[in-house]
Amino acid sequence: MGFAVLLTLFPLVALSACPQGGGNCPAHVGRGLLQASIESTVATQVSGATAKRLLQGLHVNKTDIGIYLQSLVAKVDGHNYTLSKPEKTALETIGLMVGKMQNASVMQHAEDQQEVNRMRDLIQNCTSDAAASLAKVAAFKESASSTRKAHAACRQVEGSAKDDKTLACTTYQAHRETTTPPTCMSTELSAEYVKTDDAAKKKQMEACLVTVKSWLTPFHAQYEECKSKTDTHKNKSAECGSQQQAFEQAFCLYESKLEDTCTAQNSCRAKMIAARNSSHDGVKLAEAARKADFTASNRLLCFLDVLRANNTHKRKTLLECQNQSKQTSKFDIVYQDIPGASDCQPELTKPCDSSWQLQEYQSQAWHSKAKMEGCKPCQAPTTTTTTTQEATTYSGWSTAKCKQFNYLWRRQWKFHAPGFQPPRTIPDGAIGVRWARQADNAETAENGCMYKTCIPSVPQDLRTGPWTGPKKQNPCRIWVTKWSYDANDCEAVRFGPVTSTSPTTFGTASYGAHGFVKGVSQSHKVCFRMQYIF
């Protein structure tokens, strides 16, 4: 029996590890943990022709399962075979390997669940960020509302002022059109009568003067009333015109902030939901493979028990293995629903749109008496940044990572400088990274300065490249060429709290280069943080 039994055993288990069946797993699933582990174990525990036959047997077709089971029964049932010491060692090694693999499956299940939860949290962050922005937008909305009320109140006063002006000037106009100046004005108030020394003419002049005063006084009062009301209306109209412009500007600012918030949330959710769906697809494949590995590994452990059992119990144990059914629910991944979005609805109209003017101005009771200024439409935002910069969003900053490095002389003038580079695995949607140095190279510092921004022209360059060594460097790696921290060398930045979007790890490396004095040795430390650019 011995390895002859294993020859029939391993193909069956390998097939069970592939969730798709047919003996061939998808490329991104590969052979699965179990099959890969078996190959490694066989290669190290068995040599020569036996190992070659075992490894070739790992790729049999699914339709051969029945043949292998029949062969297994035939070789085990009714034989009293004693395992050799190498065979016992191989079986123990396989048992240990399977146990380690099952422990790894538990860990990987937890990691996958964390990844699913993280993708949910990334989408929730879009909602939370929008909610925080909407709280700020509310202040702009309140400003637009208060300027709207102030403008409307001003227009109401303007309407009353116009009514007062109309009444006063109509009265004045009517009086002016119907009144007749005293006839004595043309003669008895002439220079001849005003300067005369003749007593009779002087008396006539003074009588005319009294008559003219009684006529002119109410006439002048009506004129003053009309002029005063006209000036009041004019001043109020100018004031309302200024408040109209203030309202339009406030509404434009509110509308712009609201639209930016809604657009940012929609863009963020679209990006993160796509990343979630892609992540879920990968996790589901790993989940299925993990369950298949678990089922196969338990069957393998059971088959190992067959080999260890005495002859009396081998057949019974084998049948139990063939009928074995293990629950895999402990490897179920909980795929949460997509978190809801914050309620964010952009304004349908904006200043100077016909529908906006109808709603805000033309339909108001005060409009018919208002002297409206020309409406000023919202101006498109101007910016000097590039399109890429306008479209980018950023993850939270990572925690700080510090690298100790030494000046060393090694047969040449050389020193070892530290390098930092992105993790091997980058989240979907990331287009680059930003590096920032801790203030004074202190690991706990909450502020620092921007050291490098990298958005490679070839997207895969972000995640490729060696972790160490001077050749074929990742373009988004940084090498520290100045050891001391100087805030004047780069853009100041405050890191804020670490969030679920923050990078969790990044690599460090040392790099040898010429340029240090022979025979001198010094030690320094530099500390950096990293964030993703989306």
The one-digit pLDDT tens for each residue of the chain (534 residues) are 333 334 344 444 433 334 444 434 333 333 444 444 444 544 444 444 433 333 343 333 333 333 433 344 445 455 565 666 776 777 787 778 878 888 888 888 888 899 899 999 999 999 999 999 999 999 999 999 999 999 999 999 999 999 999 999 999 999 999 999 999 999 999 999 999 999 999 999 999 999 999 999 999 999 999 999 999 999 999 999 999 999 999 999 999 999 999 999 999 999 999 999 998 998 999 898 888 888 888 877 887 777 777 777 777 777 777 777 778 888 899 999 999 999 999 999 999 999 999 999 999 999 999 999 999 999 876 554 444 344 468 888 888 888 876 654 444 444 556 777 787 777 877 888 888 888 888 888 888 888 888 887 766 666 555 444 444 456 677 777 666 666 566 677 778 777 777 887 777 765 544 444 444 456 677 888 888 888
Taking the C-alpha atoms of residue 396 and residue 433, their distance in angstroms, rounded to an integer, is 11
H or E element, residue 508: strand 507-514
How far apart, in whole angstroms, are the C-alpha atoms of residue 416 and residue 511? 5
Kindly report the number of other CB atoms within 10 A of residue 193's CB atom: 19
- Alpha-carbon distance of 508 to 524, in angstroms, equals 15
**Cα separation of 510 and 417, whole Å?**
6
Query: Are the C-beta atoms of residues 289 and 31 closer than 8 Å to each other?
Result: no
Distance between CA 514 and CA 457 in Å, rounded?
A: 30
Q: What share of the chain is helix, strand, coil (3-state, %, to 5)?
A: 55, 10, 30
The confidence score (pLDDT) of residue 405 equals 66
Q: Residue 412: which region, alpha, beta or left (left: phi > 0; alpha: psi -120 to 50)?
A: beta
Nearest to 147 by CA among 409, 351, 353, 394: 351
What the block records as the tokens of 90 is 């191989």
- Give, in order, the Cα–Cα distances in Å from 465 to each of 260, 354, 470, 475, 507: 37, 57, 11, 8, 11
Task: Report d(CA 104, CA 119) in Å as an integer.
Answer: 22
Neighbours of 435 (CB within 10 A): 23
- Count of CB atoms situated within 10 Å of the CB of 30: 12
**Which is it for the CA torsion 133, 139, 143, 145, positive or negative?**
positive
Q: What is the CA radius of gyration of the chain?
A: 45
Cα of 341 vs its chain's centroid, Å = 13
For 399, the 3-state DSSP assignment is: coil
The DSSP element (H or E) to which 526 belongs, if any, is strand 522-533
Q: SS3 for 84?
A: coil
The pLDDT value given to residue 486? 62
Count the Cβ atoms, other than its own, within 10 Å of residue 299.
20
Contact 533, 414 (CB under 8 A): no
DSSP string, 194-241: HS---HHHHHHHHHHHHHHHHHHHHHHHHHHHHHHHHHHHHHHHHHHH
> How do beta strands 522-533 and 507-514 pair?
unpaired
Q: Which residues contact 236 (CB under 8 A, 6 or more apart)?
A: 154, 157, 158, 161
Per the structure block, which two tokens stand in for 128?
A: 């939370």
In Å, what is the CA distance from 495 to each residue of 92, 410, 444?
Answer: 52, 38, 11
SS3 432: strand
Longest dimension (CA), the chain: 168
CA nearest 515: which of 484, 482, 471?
Answer: 482
The residue type found at 191 is: A
Cβ atoms of residues 125 and 275 within 8 Å: no
3-state secondary structure of 91: helix
Beta carbons within 10 angstroms of residue 269's beta carbon? 22
Closest CA to 518 of 411, 417, 418, 416: 411
Q: For 274-323, what is the HEC assignment?
A: HHHHHHHHHHHHHHHHHHHHHHHHHHHHHHHHHHHCCHHHHHHHHHHHHC
In this structure, the number of other CB atoms found within 10 A of the CB of residue 61 comes to 11
Dihedral over Cα of 222, 228, 231, 232: its sign: negative
CA atoms within 13 A on the CB side of 354: 0
- In the three-class reduction of DSSP (H, G, I as helix; E, B as strand; rest coil), residue 337 is classed as coil
